[in-house]
Amino acid sequence: MRSIEKQLNQPSFDTTALNKMYENIHAVKELKKVAIKLEKKERKQLSAEAIFEKTYPSVFMFIQVYKDKNGMRKVNGAGTAFPISADGYFIVNKHMVNEFGIGSGDPTKVNKELKVMLSSNTGDLYYIDSIVTYSGEADIAILKADLKGDKIKPFALGDDLKTGAEVFVLSHPKNYIYYFSAGRIARFTEAGNRGLFSRKMEITADYAAGSSGGPIIDNKGNIAGLVSSTRSFYYDQANQKNLQMVVKETIPVSTIKGLLNP
């Protein structure tokens, strides 16, 4: 984080570009279909070690920038984000941008005090141009970043897997950046007859706060889903005593595809 903060405090740092995403974040873009040039799916099965090495450069930090009492720019923690196109379309959770007044329909309700950027594994910083679509029910948002002409390696979107399939999570829980965990799909759920955007995929791979926006990766390096939330089960649920298990609730890749033009 120190290297990032050093960049943020350089005289050349462009503070005006931090405001670009606020120009239209109030616009109602719920379930808007977007056309994105996607990568071809990977077909070769890889070892867990190879998956980490392959995907590590494709996982970004979603950072909040603020000023301390001395006027120095600081980073307030890190969420997770990942690209799905070479020209800068990224996936995050919708709950990660709720505080900004996304989709309010009223530009006066946009919270411009919050400043966010993306950071790569090498510490390169990228401004966010806009939020192009989202689903509140599915907890997905797709944003467009300004890559400054840099080349990045996006993830390919895979297909929905089956219960029992091996999956991996690479994210930043509680600022433990690039934490890699493995598990399996425990089950799929769907709320009543609400369909695609109510689908959930529960997994046993570990994650925590800060992992929001993190990729769920299959054994070929493709995206199988998106981190969303956790649900804790206690023996005494009413008083939250004697924790027994934590269910990791994620969003399957088919739901992400629901926001894209075929």
Distance (Å, whole) CA 18 – CA 117: 8
10 Å CB burial of residue 20 (0-12, 13-18, 19+) is middle
pLDDT digits (tens, 9 = 90+) for 156-165: 999 999 999 9
Of the candidates 98, 83, 105, which has an alpha carbon nearest to the alpha carbon of residue 24? 105
Which of 39, 142, 30 is closest to 93 using CA atoms?
142
Q: What is the mean pLDDT of the chain?
A: 95
- Mean pLDDT, residues 196-201 taken together: 96
The mean pLDDT of 230-245, rounded to a whole number, is 92
> How far apart are alpha carbons 121 and 123 in whole angstroms?
6
Q: Provide, rounded to the nearest whole percent, the portion of the chain with pLDDT above 70.
A: 100
pLDDT tens digits, 16-54: 999 999 999 999 999 999 999 999 999 999 999 999 999
If you count them, how many residues does the chain have? Answer: 262
Residue 110's pLDDT band (boundaries 50, 70, 90)?
very high
Q: Which two tokens stand for residue 257?
A: 């595809």
Phi/psi at 109 (nearest 5 deg)? -95, 0
- 63 and 5 Cβ atoms separated by less than 8 Å: no
CA 113 to chain centre: 21
With bands split at pLDDT 50, 70 and 90, how would you rate the model's confidence at 262? Answer: confident
Contact (Cβ atoms closer than 8 angstroms) between residue 127 and residue 117? yes
Q: Give the model's confidence band at 192: pLDDT under 50 very low, under 70 low, under 90 confident, else very high.
A: confident
pLDDT computed for residue 58 by the predictor = 98
Show the 3-state SS of 58-109: HCEEEEEEEECCCCCEEEEEEEEEEECCCCCEEEECHHHCHHHCCCCCCHHH
Mean pLDDT within 222-249: 94
Residue 253: its H or E element? helix 253-257
Tokens of 136: 């509140």
Q: What share of the chain is helix, strand, coil (3-state, %, to 5)?
A: 20, 40, 45
Q: Is the pLDDT of residue 194 over 90?
A: no
pLDDT-derived band at 2, boundaries 50, 70, 90: confident
Beta pairing, strands 115-119 & 166-171: unpaired
